[in-house]
Structure 1
Amino acid sequence: MQGRGNGQGRIWLLSGTGEGPPLAATLLRHGWRVEVSVVTPSAARAYAGLDLDRIAVGPLQGEEAIEAALKGGDVFRWVIDATHPFAVRISTDLARACAECRQPLLRLQRPLEHGGAVQLLNQIGDLAGIDLNGRRLLLALGGRHLPAVHSAAVAVGAEVYARCLPSADGLRAALAAGLPPDQLAVVRPLQGACAGAIERALCRRWRITDVICRQSGGVTERLWRGLSADLNLRLLMLRRPDSPAGVETVESEVSLMKRIQSPQRPCADG
C-alpha cells in the first residue's frame, strides 16, 4: 500500500463521471494521493466528498499544457487516462506529453460490448450508403456530433429526432443542428432502476425506427443495445476510435489496481 505522504504515491486521474468517481474512491482507499482533472463543473460535483489532493476543472489546452502540468510540481507515480473512448484529442495529447516527459501512463479503456444486431459505421459519411428514406432516426450521441449527423441523415431522407442534456453546451449543439423544437427532447437520463425509461418513452412517442449512437462501451451502449432489441429498432453505431499507439491499456478497475500495485516497473517510454 502506498503512503499518502509519499510523493511516489501520487496519481493524476483524467476522467468524467462514469468510471472516474468510483475509481478515485478505490485509489484513495488503497492509500494513493489522487489529483483529478475534469472538463465541466457538473462533472466535478460527482467527486464531492472524496479526499482528493486537488480537482481541476476545464479542458486541458493541448500537449504543452499537459507537459507543464507534469513538470510543474511533485512527480506522479502514474497518470491514468479514463476519459471517454471518443475523447481522441485529449488521449492523444496525453500520450505524447507523457512520452516526452517519460511519465508512466495507463489507459483505462471500456471493454467492447456485444449482443443485438448492430451496424457499425466507420465515419459519419457512411450514412450516405444506408437507406434512411422515410425512416425516423433518433440521434443518441454527443452534442458535438449532432450537426454533422443531422445534416448527413436529412440528406438521405431521414426524419431526424434527438435528445440532449440540459446544459449550455448541449443546447448550443442541438440548436446548431437545426432540429425543430418538437423533434428535440432536453432531458437528463435517469439512473439506477429507472435507467432507460426516458429513452424508451421517446422512442415510442416519436415512433422511432432507427437509432444512431457511439460504440462507447459502458452503460450507455448497453442501454441502446437492449432497447433496440426490445423495440425492434435498427441500431447504427459509430465505431470506436483506436487508443493512442504505445499506451499500456487495461479494461477494468480490478486490472488497473493490480497493475499500479505491481512491482513491475511502469513503462514510461510511450
Structure 2
Amino acid sequence: MARNILILGGSTEAYALARELADRPDIRVISSLAGRTGTPRLPAGDVRIGGFGGADGLAAYLRDNHIDAVVDCTHPFAARMGWNAAQGCATMDVPLLRLERPAWVRQRGDLWDEVADWTEAAPLVGTRSKRVLMTVGRQELEPFAGLDHVWFLIRSVEMPDPMPPFTQAEILLARGPFAYEEERELLITRGIDTIVCKNSGGPTDAKLAAARALGIRVVIKTRPCRPDTPKAADVAEALCWLTPICA
C-alpha cells in the first residue's frame, strides 16, 4: 500500500522533493500551496491549494486523508504554518520533518544590518538611504511607504494589491533566480545604495554577492523562531528521513 506524504510547499526545495517522490509507486505525494499567487507553478504529483484552517484544520486533513508523514517545506518566514504543522502533526501523531535551506551567513565585506522586523528596518532605511531595492514580498511593503524622500525599486513576482502609498516607487515584476551579472548591472544602473531583503537562505545569493562587491548596504530580516522538530538541510536528507516511513 502506498504511503501518503504531505508536502507543505511553495519553496524550491518543495518542488524538488515532490519531483523525486512523484514517480515512486510506493508513495502518493500531495503538495499543499498557500495560494498567495494567482498563477502558481504546480509541483509534480497531487496538489491542493489554500489554507487548512489552523492547526485543528490540518489535523483533520491528516486524519481524513490518512497522511503517513508531513514534510514542511514552507518559506523560512512562513512561521505560522510551521507552528500549525507541529501542533497538527502532534495531535494526530504524524511524523513531521522541517526541510529548510541554510540561512545566509555574513561574509567578509558584507555591510549588513540585521533586523527582527520591518518596523525596526524602516528607520534605518529612512536615515541613510536614497535609492533602495526592495525584495521583501508584495505583502510586507507598508512599513516603508512613509519614507517620502527615498526612491524604491520594488521587485515582486506579482503586482502588490493594494499598493501602499509610496511617493517614489517603481515596480519591477520578475521571478528569480537571478544571475550575478544581471544583479550587479541592476544595482549599478539604478543607482541602488541599499537592499532590503529577508534571510531566505540557500545557495549564494546573487544580489548579496553583488552588494558585497559594490559596497552596498543590506538591511536583512532574520528568520523567525520555529518549533523544535527534526530538520533536513536538503532534499537528499529528507529522502533519507522518509525511507523507514515508506518501507
TM range (shorter): 0.7 to 0.9
Instruction: Please give the TM-score of this superposition, normalised by the length of structure 1.
Output: 0.78
More helix by share: 1
What do the CA deviations read for 1:179-236 (whole angstroms, capped 9, x no partner)?
24x6212311354xx63566444423331111110011125x7122112113321111
Distance 2:194 2:133 in 1: 6
User: CA, structure 1 residues 122+179, in 2 after alignment: closer, same or farther (shift >3 Å)?
Assistant: same
User: Structure 1 residue 184 and structure 2 residue 170: aligned?
Assistant: yes
Aligned residue in 2 for 1:171: 160
Say if 1:133 and 1:158, in contact at 8 Å, map to a contact too. no
Distance 1:132 1:205 in 2: 23
User: CA, structure 1 residues 257+228, in 2 after alignment: closer, same or farther (shift >3 Å)?
Assistant: same
Aligned residue in 2 for 1:63: 55
Distance 1:133 1:119 in 2: 12
Out of 152, 160, 165, which is 1:161 matched to?
152
- Structure 1 unaligned blocks of 5 or more: 1-5, 266-270
Letter in 2 for 1:171: P
Aligned residue in 2 for 1:207: 191
Deviation at 1:91, TM superposition (A): 1.2
User: CA, structure 1 residues 132+255, in 2 after alignment: closer, same or farther (shift >3 Å)?
Assistant: same
Aligned residue in 2 for 1:42: 39
* Aligned residues: CA RMSD: 2.7
Distance 2:174 2:56 in 1: 35
Q: Secondary structure at the match of 2:72?
A: strand
Distance 2:236 2:157 in 1: 34
Aligned residue in 1 for 2:223: 240
Distance 1:134 1:149 in 2: 12
Say if 1:109 and 1:250, in contact at 8 Å, map to a contact too. yes
Structure 2 matches for 1:108-257, cutoff 5 A?
A: 108-114=99-105, 115=107, 116-117=109-110, 118-127=112-121, 128=123, 132-133=127-128, 135-151=130-146, 154=147, 159-165=150-156, 167=158, 170-173=159-162, 175-176=163-164, 178-180=165-167, 183-191=169-177, 195=179, 199-218=183-202, 222-244=205-227, 246-257=228-239
Aligned residue in 2 for 1:33: 28
User: CA, structure 1 residues 12+190, in 2 after alignment: closer, same or farther (shift >3 Å)?
Assistant: closer
Letter in 1 for 2:196: I
Structure 2 matches for 1:102-113, cutoff 5 A?
A: 102-113=93-104
Say if 2:98 and 2:232, in contact at 8 Å, map to a contact too. yes
User: CA, structure 1 residues 104+263, in 2 after alignment: closer, same or farther (shift >3 Å)?
Assistant: closer
Say if 1:189 and 1:195, in contact at 8 Å, map to a contact too. no
Letter in 2 for 1:132: T
What do the CA deviations read for 1:43-102 (whole angstroms, capped 9, x no partner)?
2x332xx3x2x21112332122212211213x2221010000001111111111111111
Say if 1:190 and 1:197, in contact at 8 Å, map to a contact too. no
Distance 1:166 1:185 in 2: 10
Q: Secondary structure at the match of 2:60?
A: helix
User: CA, structure 1 residues 233+64, in 2 after alignment: closer, same or farther (shift >3 Å)?
Assistant: same
User: CA, structure 1 residues 188+197, in 2 after alignment: closer, same or farther (shift >3 Å)?
Assistant: farther
Out of 69, 77, 80, which is 2:68 matched to?
77
Out of 15, 20, 43, which is 1:21 matched to?
15
Say if 2:133 and 2:155, in contact at 8 Å, map to a contact too. no
Say if 2:72 and 2:97, in contact at 8 Å, map to a contact too. yes
Distance 2:238 2:145 in 1: 38
Q: Secondary structure at the match of 1:171?
A: coil
Q: How many residue pairs end up in the alignment?
A: 240
Say if 2:89 and 2:95, in contact at 8 Å, map to a contact too. yes
